[in-house]
């Protein structure tokens, strides 16, 4: 006897709809490796319908005073809290994430981030009005850009959806968002929450739309004539494709594309504390985090002691079932990702040494053991390329100059951390490390008030903070004559 699969649907102009041509794709729970739902495989007709709904809803949403948009966002945040257990269940099934960790580590920051952007809606700052030419007054207007086409990733599908829709809606834009084809469930539930709030408060439900689909669906969204902006969190390849597609009609583009965060550990650090924090920051969410602490550079004088302690921490770190409160992380997101992580291990050079882990765990799902690899060189593939799995690499450096050179010697530039008791050294490193974030004696904490975003092949644009809010606005100069 087979269990019927749950049917997920697009959310367009306030209605849940199947794809216009009826096509679907199966959605797999990565903890079991089994399908639990179907989702639309949306095509051009679905994209057209969603964009038309967002375009029609834009003028009224744009023209609301900011306080009214704030009310909507605050109500959405309240509803997230009220329906938290539904969101937790959807995200756990989406990703195989431990239920307790979704409850403690994702719901509270998401609610806080929505409330932050609700406040930002009322802080549309610009330079003061003034006379910069005799007889004329200049005014700066900050306006929404229009319809935003947004593509969210599979590592944090629920939270990344918040990072995208909250600043966009707060600034007065309307949204068409596409979740990853492997993780649509929580975004569809978010559509139900937001749609009900918009309806209760008397606003068009076309303000927020969700379409499910694959890369082709995303391409159709980005190339569509309606959106004024395309935002994506994903791989470098995907970001380049979006930038190229958007260039055809000069859409604004917002890209967050991954990282290879260096974790620079100097000999004066507290090794036990550093290992404890770094192992959590490296293995949390199965290392499927653009800022994960997975590339460790350790000063040679403490290298052996540090590696031994890190390998011990890895052996004590647990992955497993969603209802096990002792696990730190769940499975990799999909079969292709498991294959990718295995491939990095299989292709390790002869000089590399696996200190812990290095293998798949269990006979179902996509679980991979917490892994430590030492003996690596700067030009090794696993040092240069993003693994996006629970694999921490370790290199040994001799001095600060070499540490900076190796830390910066990758194509990514999203996040980094420095571990030292020397304040002056920490300040020098924070200046010379070429990354969008530098943590000192910690790694991975984020707050709504501070920006998240990188340089180089990690993309451009900021999430969170007033800077992230600004990215969803445009600047207009208005000049008036004083002669009447």
Residue with tokens 């504390």: 273
Give the CATH number of the domain where residue 63 resides: 3.40.605.10
Provide the 8-state DSSP code for 123: -
Domain count, the chain: 2
Are 163 and 266 part of one and the same domain?
Answer: no
Are 62 and 205 part of one and the same domain?
Answer: yes
Alpha-carbon gap, residue 76 to 93, rounded angstroms? 22
pLDDT the model gives residue 125:
77
Residue 296 CB-density burial (10 A; 0-12 exposed, 13-18 middle, 19+ buried): buried
Residue 89 lies in a domain: yes
Has residue 238 got a pLDDT over 50?
yes
Task: Print the domain residue range for 469.
Answer: 6-257+458-477
Structure tokens at 380: 């090794």
Residue 452 lies in a domain: no
Are 288 and 267 part of one and the same domain?
Answer: yes
Are 344 and 281 part of one and the same domain?
Answer: yes
Residue 39 lies in a domain: yes
Percentage of the chain exceeding pLDDT 90: 97
Q: How many whole angstroms from its chain centre is CA 211?
A: 18
Percentage of the chain exceeding pLDDT 70: 99
Are 223 and 367 part of one and the same domain?
Answer: no
pLDDT the model gives residue 126:
73
pLDDT digits (tens, 9 = 90+) for 149-193: 999 999 999 999 999 999 999 999 999 999 999 999 999 999 999
Residue 55 lies in a domain: yes
Are 216 and 330 part of one and the same domain?
Answer: no
Residues annotated as catalytic (active site), given as ranges:
256, 290
Has residue 401 got a pLDDT over 90?
yes
Residue 484 lies in a domain: no
Are 232 and 172 part of one and the same domain?
Answer: yes
Has residue 2 got a pLDDT over 60?
no
Are 299 and 253 part of one and the same domain?
Answer: no
pLDDT digits (tens, 9 = 90+) for 284-330: 999 999 999 999 999 999 999 999 999 999 999 999 999 999 999 99
pLDDT digits (tens, 9 = 90+) for 67-116: 999 999 999 999 999 999 999 999 999 999 999 999 999 999 999 999 99
Give the CATH number of the domain where residue 431 resides: 3.40.309.10
Are 114 and 191 part of one and the same domain?
Answer: yes
Residue 180 lies in a domain: yes
Confidence of residue 1 (pLDDT cuts 50, 70, 90): very low
Has residue 46 got a pLDDT over 50?
yes
Are 248 and 312 part of one and the same domain?
Answer: no
pLDDT digits (tens, 9 = 90+) for 345-394: 999 999 999 999 999 999 999 999 999 999 999 999 999 999 999 999 99
In DSSP notation, 372-405 reads EEES--TT-HHHHS---SSEEEEEEESSHHHHHH
Are 423 and 469 part of one and the same domain?
Answer: no
**Strand-pair category, 147-151 with 229-233:** parallel
Has residue 273 got a pLDDT over 90?
yes
Residue 453 lies in a domain: no
Residue 84 lies in a domain: yes
Cα distances from 277 to residues 135, 148, 270, 272, 336, in angstroms, run: 61, 37, 11, 9, 29
Mean pLDDT score across all residues of the chain:
96
Q: Do the beta carbons of residue 354 and residue 342 sit within 8 Å? A: no
Are 250 and 114 part of one and the same domain?
Answer: yes
CA dihedral 268, 273, 279, 285 (to 10 degrees): -130
């Amino acid at each position: 006897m087979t269990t019927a699969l749950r049917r997920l649907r697009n959310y367009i102009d306030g209605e849940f709809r199947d794809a216009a041509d009826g096509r679907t794709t199966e959605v797999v729970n990565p903890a079991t490796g089994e399908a639990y739902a179907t989702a639309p495989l949306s095509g051009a007709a679905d994209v057209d319908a969603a964009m038309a709904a967002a375009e029609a809803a834009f003028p009224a949403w744009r023209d609301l005073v900011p306080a009214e948009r704030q009310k909507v966002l605050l109500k959405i945040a309240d509803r997230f809290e009220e329906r938290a257990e539904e969101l937790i269940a959807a995200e756990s099934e989406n990703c195989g994430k431990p239920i307790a960790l979704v409850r403690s580590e994702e719901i509270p920051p998401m609610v806080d981030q929505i409330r932050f952007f609700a406040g930002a809606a009322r802080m549309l700052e610009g330079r003061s009005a003034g006379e910069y030419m005799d007889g004329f007054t200049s005014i700066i207007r900050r306006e929404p850009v229009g319809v935003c086409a947004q593509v969210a990733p599979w590592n944090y599908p629920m939270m990344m959806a918040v990072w995208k829709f909250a600043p966009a809606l707060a600034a007065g834009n309307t949204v068409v968002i596409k979740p990853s084809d492997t993780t649509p469930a929580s975004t569809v539930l978010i559509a139900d929450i937001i749609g009900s709030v918009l309806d209760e408060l008397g606003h068009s439900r076309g303000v927020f739309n969700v379409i499910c689909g694959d890369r082709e669906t995303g391409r159709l969204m980005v190339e569509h004539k309606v959106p004024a902006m395309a935002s994506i969190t994903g791989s470098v390849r995907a970001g380049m494709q979006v930038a190229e597609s958007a260039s055809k009609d000069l859409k604004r583009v917002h890209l967050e594309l991954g990282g290879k965060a260096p974790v620079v550990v100097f000999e004066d650090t507290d090794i036990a504390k550093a290992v404890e924090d770094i192992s959590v920051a490296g293995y949390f969410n199965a290392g499927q985090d653009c800022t994960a602490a997975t590339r460790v550079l350790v000063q040679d004088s403490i290298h052996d002691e540090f590696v031994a302690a890190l390998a011990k921490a890895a052996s004590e770190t647990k992955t497993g079932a969603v209802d096990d409160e002792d696990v730190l992380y769940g499975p990799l997101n999909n079969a292709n990702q498991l294959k990718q992580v295995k491939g990095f291990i299989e292709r390790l050079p002869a000089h590399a040494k696996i200190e812990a882990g290095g293998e798949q765990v269990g006979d179902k799902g996509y679980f991979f053991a917490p892994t430590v690899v030492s003996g690596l060189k700067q030009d090794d593939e696993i040092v240069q390329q993003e693994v996006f799995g629970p694999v921490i690499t370790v290199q040994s450096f001799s001095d600060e100059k070499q540490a900076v050179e190796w830390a910066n010697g990758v194509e990514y530039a999203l996040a980094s951390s420095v571990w030292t008791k020397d304040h002056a050294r920490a300040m020098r490193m924070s200046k010379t490390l070429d990354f969008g974030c530098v943590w000192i004696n910690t790694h991975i904490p984020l707050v709504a008030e501070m920006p998240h975003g990188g340089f180089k092949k990690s993309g451009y644009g900021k999430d969170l903070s007033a800077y992230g809010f600004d990215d969803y606005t445009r600047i207009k100069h208005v000049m008036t004559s004083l002669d009447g």
